[in-house]
Each structure stands twice: as structure tokens, then as C-alpha cells.
């Protein structure tokens, strides 16, 4: 090889190295650091948080009798498959109401009595301020006024998720239902069932468990269902009035294929009777009820989608102490996001994803 050819070869190698470095830099992930902790007085065991039109925050807590109220830790304590499907893991439920400064102003139910949740799994608020609680162990839906007085109680089998709807209706997901979502009126009458199960197993019990998900609604009373275990991260959108499907967001890019493949392998092991734990894909979902924007948490990867399903931002979420934040729930506010975890508590994040630091 002559000198000119060697120079060309060296230049080609250097150019390839530069291109590789640029590509690697472009693939660096954004990170999103919490700006502050919120609602420390709510303690551990937070299941959900909503903000009412009165500006107050309604926080559902569910604690074991021996659970410490202290919040903190250096890493996320992941719930196992069985603990999130076993309502006996939490035996004391209440809704704590806080103002915007984090001061507790009241508790729901407002007084002791039989009209009290056994082990609640979810809550929501309607436009009038009524508080809806899905009491999984109690096989019921409890409804209270904003002041905490009993309003209604309906028998509903194993409700795991709940969403308030316009027209004095509410939607639930059930651990024993044969559809993804059921819609009821305020007389406790079943109006319709929505959404077929994903075909993940021939075993009925396993199929139910693998079709667990997260439920949310918007101001147009559309319903959003995010599958917790479907190998490809998937969210379905339904019209609650007709039950028809409006949209389906499914993330099938090559970046997520290893995760999907691992999830399929775990599902196959479960189906064969071997000891395994299904791979959690989506750990939390948040919906802006006004704009229909969507946030999904895949572990501590937080993904933002606009109302047309475009992924506009993605970032890895961390607490104020630098620990990975794997949220159990997401509340989208006008300028901020509240991400909560039963072990860590609740943290505030900006809705604008800025690159605070890079990870490779």
C-alpha cells in the first residue's frame, strides 16, 4: 500500500470514528431531576393522587398496620407481581386532603363508621368534587362528598382502577371482569363493558392478571387503558359513551424489542407452570384531561406523547437525592408533573424535559 492509500485509509477510519461519536452522543438519554419532594406528611403507602377543582390535593394511602410513615430510601423498592394483585398487602385505607402548601386540611371518610374502605386501590374525582374510591378487598365502589360525607356505596367485584365520568357515571377495571373496563351509573347499574382482553394466555386466571392495567379519563369522558404487562407498551383509548375504540398507541421500535422479548419469555414460563414473575412494562400512566397529552413510565424512563401519539420527549427520572424514580402514579398539572411511589413518596418534576445530565 502506497503512502497516499495509507492516508486515505487513516482518514476513512478517523471519519468513521467521528460519525460513531456523533451518533453515540445523539443517543444519550435526557434525564429529568425532581425539583422537590411533596406531601411528606402523607407518609408511605401512597396509591394515587388527584387535584380537585377546589385546588386541593386528594391522596389515597393504603398502609399495613406495621408500615412506617417515614418516606425515603436510596432506591425504588419494586413491588412483586403478587403484592400488587394481593389486596391483603394493605389493610388500612384513607384519603388525606392537602392544600397547595402541603398542609393537611381534612381526611376522607370524615368520621369513623362502617362506610369505610377496607383496602383501596385507586381513586378519582368528578367535576362536582365527589370522591370515588375503588375498594378492591371490600368488593365495592365508595363515593364521598368533597367534605368526606358518605354519598353512595355500590357492590362491584374486585375493582382495581376507577375513573369518574361526566353524566354521573364512573368506569372501573376489575380483577375478575371479562372486559378491560366496565361503566356504571350512580345507581350502581352496569351500563356497558368496554375493551377485549389481549390474548396473552389460555389460562383464564393468568389471562386476567396479565391484562391488568391503568385507567384514566379526560374532560371529554374518553377512557385511556394502559396495559401493565403487554410486551409492547400499549395504551388504548375508548369512547365511554359508545364503548367504541378511538385510538391505540403501541411502541414497537427496535429500542424496545429486547424488553418485549424478555416479557414474552416470562409469560411463556408462567404459562408452563414454572416459577416466574411477569415483566412489568408500563409502571404508571398520566393523562392531561384538557389537552389529552399522555405520559408513560417504563421503569424510570418517562415518555411524553401529544394528542396525536407523537413521542415528543423522553427522559430518565430521578429523585432529589439522585435515586431512580420508578413511579406508581403520575399526575399531570399545568406546569408540573407529580410522580409518586409507595416507597419514596411524591416528587415534583417540570413538564418541560431539559437535559440536566447525560447518561450512556
Give the pLDDT score at 28.
63
pLDDT of residue 110: 84
pLDDT at 112: 73
Listed residue (38, 47, 44) closest to 65, CA to CA: 44
Answer yes or no: is 23 within a domain.
Answer: no
Asked, for residue 360, whether it belongs to a domain, the answer is no
In a domain, 9, yes or no: no
Count up the domains in the chain and report the number: 1
Is the distance from CB of 43 to CB of 72 less than 8 angstroms? Answer: no
User: What Rg, from alpha-carbon coordinates, does the chain have?
Assistant: 22
pLDDT at residue number 69: 44
Contact, 164 vs 170, CB < 8 A?
A: yes
Q: For the whole model, what pTM was predicted? A: 0.84
Residue 185: inside a domain, yes or no?
A: yes
Domain-embedded: residue 93: yes
Q: What is the pLDDT of residue 17?
A: 38
Residue 113 lies in a domain: yes
Mean pLDDT per block of 10 residues along the chain (360 residues) reads: 42 36 50 94 90 95 56 37 43 87 93 79 95 94 93 94 97 94 96 95 87 97 97 97 97 92 89 81 97 97 97 95 95 96 92 59
Domain contains 130 = yes
Asked whether residue 10 is assigned to any structural domain, the reply reads no
d(Cα 98, Cα 70) in Å, to the nearest integer? 18
Q: Are 240 and 218 in contact (CB under 8 A)?
A: no
Distance CA 36, CA 58 (A): 19
Which CATH number do you get for residue 326? 2.120.10.30
Query: 3-state secondary structure string, the chain?
Result: CCHHHHHHHHHHHHHHHHHHHHHHHHCCEEEEECCEEECHHHCCCEEEEEECCCCCEEEEEEECCCCCCCCCCCCCCCCCHHHHHCHHHCCEEEEEEECCCCCEEEEECCCCCCCCCCCEEEEEECCCCCEEEEECCCCEEEEECCCCCEEEEEECCCEEEEEEECCCEEEEEECCCCCCEEEEECCCCEEEEECCCCCCCCCHHHHHHHCCEEEEECCCCEEEEEECCCCCCEEEEEECCCCCEEEEEECCCHHHHHHHHHHHHHHHHHHCCCCCCCCCCCCEEEECCCCCCEEEEECCEEEEECCCCCEEEEEEEECCCCCECCCCEEEECCCEEEEEECCCEEEEEECCCCCCCCEC
Report d(CA 246, CA 241) in Å as an integer: 12
Domain that holds residue 214: 37-350
Amino acid at each position: 500500500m502506497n503512502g497516499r492509500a495509507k492516508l486515505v485509509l487513516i482518514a476513512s477510519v478517523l471519519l468513521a470514528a467521528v460519525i460513531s461519536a456523533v451518533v453515540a452522543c445523539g443517543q444519550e438519554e435526557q434525564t429529568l431531576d425532581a425539583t422537590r419532594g411533596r406531601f411528606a406528611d402523607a407518609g408511605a403507602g401512597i396509591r394515587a393522587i388527584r387535584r380537585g377543582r377546589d385546588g386541593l390535593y386528594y391522596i389515597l394511602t393504603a398502609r399495613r398496620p406495621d408500615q412506617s410513615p417515614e418516606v425515603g430510601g436510596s432506591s425504588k423498592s419494586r413491588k412483586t407481581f403478587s403484592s400488587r394483585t394481593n389486596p391483603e398487602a394493605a389493610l388500612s385505607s384513607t384519603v388525606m386532603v392537602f392544600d397547595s402548601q402541603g398542609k393537611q386540611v381534612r381526611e376522607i371518610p370524615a368520621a369513623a363508621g362502617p362506610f369505610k374502605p377496607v383496602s383501596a386501590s385507586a381513586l378519582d374525582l368528578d367535576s362536582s368534587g365527589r370522591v370515588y374510591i375503588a375498594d378492591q378487598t371490600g368488593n365495592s365502589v365508595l363515593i364521598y362528598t368533597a367534605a368526606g360525607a358518605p354519598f353512595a356505596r355500590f357492590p362491584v367485584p374486585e375493582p382495581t382502577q376507577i375513573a369518574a365520568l361526566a353524566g354521573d357515571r364512573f368506569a372501573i377495571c376489575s380483577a375478575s371482569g371479562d372486559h378491560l373496563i366496565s361503566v356504571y351509573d350512580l345507581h350502581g347499574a352496569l351500563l356497558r363493558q368496554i375493551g377485549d382482553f389481549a390474548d396473552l394466555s389460555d389460562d383464564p386466571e393468568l389471562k386476567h392478571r396479565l391484562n391488568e392495567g391503568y385507567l384514566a379519563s379526560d374532560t371529554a369522558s374518553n377512557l385511556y387503558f394502559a396495559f401493565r404487562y403487554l410486551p409492547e407498551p400499549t395504551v388504548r383509548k375508548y369512547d365511554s359513551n359508545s364503548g367504541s375504540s378511538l385510538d391505540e398507541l403501541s411502541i414497537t421500535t427496535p429500542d424496545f424489542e429486547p424488553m418485549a422479548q424478555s416479557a414474552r419469555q416470562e409469560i411463556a414460563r408462567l404459562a408452563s407452570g414454572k416459577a416466574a414473575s411477569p415483566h412489568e412494562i408500563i409502571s404508571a400512566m398520566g393523562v392531561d384531561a384538557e389537552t389529552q397529552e399522555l405520559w408513560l413510565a417504563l421503569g424510570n424512563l418517562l415518555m411524553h406523547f401529544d394528542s396525536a401519539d407523537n413521542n415528543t420527549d423522553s427522559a430518565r427520572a430521578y429523585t432529589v437525592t439522585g435515586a431512580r424514580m420508578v413511579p406508581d402514579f403520575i399526575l399531570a398539572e399545568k406546569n408540573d408533573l407529580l410522580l409518586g411511589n409507595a416507597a419514596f413518596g411524591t416528587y415534583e418534576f417540570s413538564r418541560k424535559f431539559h437535559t440536566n445530565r447525560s447518561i450512556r
